[in-house]
Structure 1
Amino acid sequence: MDPMTAGIVITVFLVVILASGLWIGMALAAAGYVAMAFFTSRPPGLIFGSTLWGSNNSWALTALPLFIWMGEILFRTRLAEDMFRGLSPWVQRIPGRLLHTNVIGCAIFAAISGSSAATAATIGKMTVPELRSRGYGDFMIVGSLAGSGTLGLLIPPSIMMIVYGVAAQVSIGRLFIAGIIPGLLLMLIFSAIVAGYALMKPDHIPAREPRLSLKAKLWESRRLIPVSVLIILVLGCIYGGIATPTEAASIGVAGSLALALLSGGLDLSTFWGSVMAATRTSAMIGLILSGAAFLSTAMGFTGLPEQFATWIIAMNLPQPALLAALVCIFLVMGCFIDGISMIVLTTSVLLPAVQSAGLDLLWFGIFVVLLVEIAQITPPVGFNLYVLQSLANRSIGYIALAALPFFLGLLVLIVLITLAPDVVMWLPAQMLGQSG
């Protein structure tokens, strides 16, 4: 059968079983089985076994559960609350005032968790009641949390970067470094959105709190020291070449346990809760990776990726047109499947076409992560929307509307890195050299 026809049949089958409510990882594996059984002459069982082992037998992938566990430990201790109290005195004079703690707090927590949902949930549990009690409107509270929570995917260490790095065989350390400048720019874009909203809707922002002296601000900022030390320790080990991302993740887990113990927030129930939550999340991601790897292998045997790449090359699209088409594809996919599935499903199909168009895979990784960030706040599957629905007791529609300005902010950054690729490529070249 023609590979394109096989691709259409498999896609329809996958959409149907996903709509039935079957777990995503199992649905991907089932679609791969159908592809192997009906459209190739290869034995599905043998291929599944070898693919399952190959997709999970990766040293780089071991960083994933460790970073997830580190985030879960901090999620359950008072270190996150201390971070809010340490930040709040410094944003009183900026339009939007304490709303900026959502942006800054998410950025800081992103640097130690790597998970978008964990970032939004952790910061949201602290800031939603605090901001409501001080008179801030719900619209920008939940909007800024939904948008800023996505920083967990871009600011290193990032779970999505690890997944992409393993799937595309790109250095995870270089990906982490490449995400720093775009992450800082995205923070500025989000803060500008908050400030613009405050200037347009001043009645939704309460009056300034009493001015604190510099000494008082510095005293409150002492609460940021433990988290800051942990961030510097983990990222410094990676960027300084002292440790691999996996080894740095182990250091991060040990450091978060030590900080939680010293702060008095670690007991047996907290420890066990963090272990079980990290295990559940890691198992979910592992199942998705396994199913998607099998589907990708099966699709490879059908010949669809090569035909798709040939088709795109034959269209001779200029890079801007190709990237615009990819943005549209990922935006549609983001409405229906999660970010990890988006990455592992599309990697084998898109990378040959991307490379033939002369795009650097390191730059493309950041491009893809930004598109996955958009998926986190795109209904009906956007994880951040559901996290905030439980925290703010608002409808998905309300939260999605509040997140719309930040959705547009992400698109602005995508345009920016497309027009100026050095935003992504400059720092890795400086820190690791062109061949790093």
Structure 2
Amino acid sequence: MTRREGPAVWAAFLWPGGHHHGAWRLPGSTGADLMSFENYKQMALDCERGKFDVVFLGDRLDAWPLPTEYLARTARAARLETLTLTGALAAVTSRIGLVATASTTFSEPFNLARQIGSLDHISGGRIGWNVVTSYTDDQAHNYGLDHIPPRPDRYARAQEFLDVVKGLWDSFEDDAVIRDKDSGQFFHAEKFHPLDHQGRHFKVAGPLNMERPPQGYPVICQAGASKEGIAFAGRNGELLFSVNSSLDRARDYYQAVKKAAADAGRHPDEVKVLASINPVVGRTEEEAEEKYEQMQSLLDDDVSRTFAEVYFGIDLSAYPMDEPVPEIELPDAAHGMPRAHQEYMLTRARDRKLTMRELVYGFNGTNIYPKSAEAAADEFQEWYETEACDGFILQISHVPEGVTDFVDLVVPILRERGLIRADYTGRTLRENLGLAIPRNRHAA
């Protein structure tokens, strides 16, 4: 096995209640307190102690797509707003990167440019923006729309949105502000630029009333797996989150993204692809299995089945529950769940020869399974060193305990193998990821 140079990129995807649907019910856990900033603070500090690159905060602009009678038996209906939470975490951490999610479909460029730029200044250059287009009618209903716009329209708006935001972040050139008290000159007038953007979706005059962010642009993150999503990531993304059902599929996806970046005129190394591998870890396989089975025992069968039916948009009663998952024709997903992830779940079930019952009752999160710390480290090493990814995004199954378990049990093994850094090498997220500061478009 050929060893890659340098450590992998590490991100922790924190979701209120944990990514496993039964984890909020664990006895003695504080994970059920979805509004607890102390939980998020503890997890962020644990990740910083482990020298992770990123704490990633996902978001939705609705509750969760379940009938209320079933939703009420989950920990999915409530969460903190991610930009607000990121600002609070910036104040209690010092080195780790912080990525917040914000939608281009239901926001305005000037507002988000100010909000995310402010976070980058407050944190000293540690912010990333997870650019999403949203994908469900439930979210559209909260913004005066009957349906979510079609995917091509959402991505066209997203591209223009991002172009406008970057233009606003370039309003002040890097050396524009001089703060010369003796002369009374605060900034060079000729280095302060309006935007005067007039496009299909937006009309924005600018300039932004904020100095350029410390990173030039906060790191642009993206998780799209559709054809449009890969193209968007190739053109714009710097940190890309991916989910694949096997090592071979992950390698194919990795190459597709790198090619998309090259086709867009970028160097493939400008896009860091993170794979989602999410073991429930223990000191031994038996200890990990015990933790996992405890969470599995806390799943609600009716909720799991209903969630799977809503997610796939199909009536599962038509399929024998104790036979292998067959080829399933999915309905039109234009106004529903992301097709790429639906196909991932079905492909994973067929690759692992799961029964329909195992698919439905195990519909508890993405790639969540038990492993000893040593075996987990082996899997991470294989994926990284065979170029299936540039690093990993861990969808932590149970919180906050799952973060502590990983940092205490797996990180020391990864560090011995050179897969995670011994200490931070830079002050900003870009520096730690090895990404250059984008050139200001107005620079001479």
Same fold per TM (> 0.5)?
Answer: no
TM-score, with normalisation over the residues of structure 1?
A: 0.21
Q: Higher helix fraction: Structure 1 or Structure 2?
A: 1
